[in-house]
Amino acid sequence: MAVPVEQKLLHTEEVCSITEQLSEKEQVTELNKFRFSVCALFHDLSRFEQYTRFRTFRDADSFDHGDKSAELMLSGDFIAELPDSEKDLIATAIRAHNKMTIPSNLTGDVLAAAKMVRDADKLSILGIIYRYLTGQIPHDPTMKLDLPETDTYSPSIYQAVIDGSPVNYADLRSMNDFLLILCTWTADLNYRASRHYAAEHGLYDRLLSLLPEDDNTKRLPELIRKRLTGGAV
Ligand SMILES: [Fe+2]
């Protein structure tokens, strides 16, 4: 099995597991537990078609994988027995999972579901990228969005980390930029349990050790620690 396909299968399993753990910690209702688990299971359904057809995980060079995953899930009858209102909720959360920000029109349980799948997705990816960059996953350029490995990073993306603002994946120029984008996620982990999960598992400690060391990047461990543990930044 190709490395990117195998890793997406493992990622899906991990997102399901993390979703269960976060749902437990956040004491969500049984109905939301079910909804969130379905979102986790299908959120990246289109990644397999994306890799097979385009040999990339870059949405800009293929298709929007959140929108496509929702479309495949609905057309495949995976959740055919659910009422339309539930199908809509799950599909909407899946469409929202990979957008720069959560669409502002989402409210209530659909918003809760979108926040959960985004968080669990991010927490899993943080671990995958670390394992990839430390050689625990076989080399494959698809895994790093085909980005070059350089000693530099983009100042604008570093600034986005400091500001806690989102970054468009199309603006990434290097693998270090990708590591910095992962740092911007500290401002986009919606649930308290998600921030605790990242801190408890040392997800950022591991990633930060891979960035080039300079006066800018030396600031990041403390900034991230405060964001994850709720301290002032
Ligand atoms: Fe995704």
| pLDDT tens digit sequence for 173-201 | 999 999 999 999 999 999 999 999 999 99
Q: The tokens 């990246």 sit on which residue? A: 44
CA 13 – ligand 1 centroid, Å: 13
Confidence grade of residue 169 (pLDDT, cut at 50, 70, 90): confident
Show Cβ contacts of residue 219 under 8 Å, excluding neighbours closer than 6 positions.
162
Distance 82 CA to ligand 1 centre (A): 23
User: pLDDT at residue 39 above 90?
Assistant: yes
How high is the pLDDT of residue 231? 57
| pLDDT score recorded for residue 141 | 84
pLDDT at residue 108, rounded to an integer: 98
CATH architecture of 1-145: Orthogonal Bundle (1.10)
CA dihedral (24, 231, 128, 27) in degrees, to 10, reads 10
- Averaged pLDDT for residues 55-82: 95
**Where in the sequence of the chain do the CATH 1.10.3210.10 domains occur?**
1-145
Determine the distance separating the centroid of ligand 1 and the alpha carbon of 64, expressed in angstroms: 9
10 C-alpha to center of ligand 1: Å?
A: 13
Position 35 scores a pLDDT of 98
CA proximity to 64, closest of 79, 86, 80, 49: 49
Work out the average pLDDT over 145-163.
92
- CA 35 – ligand 1 centroid, Å: 17
Q: In which region does residue 231 sit, left (phi positive, over 0), alpha (psi from -120 to 50) or beta (all else)?
A: beta
- Find the mean pLDDT for residues 42-49: 97
Distance 158 CA to ligand 1 centre (A): 23
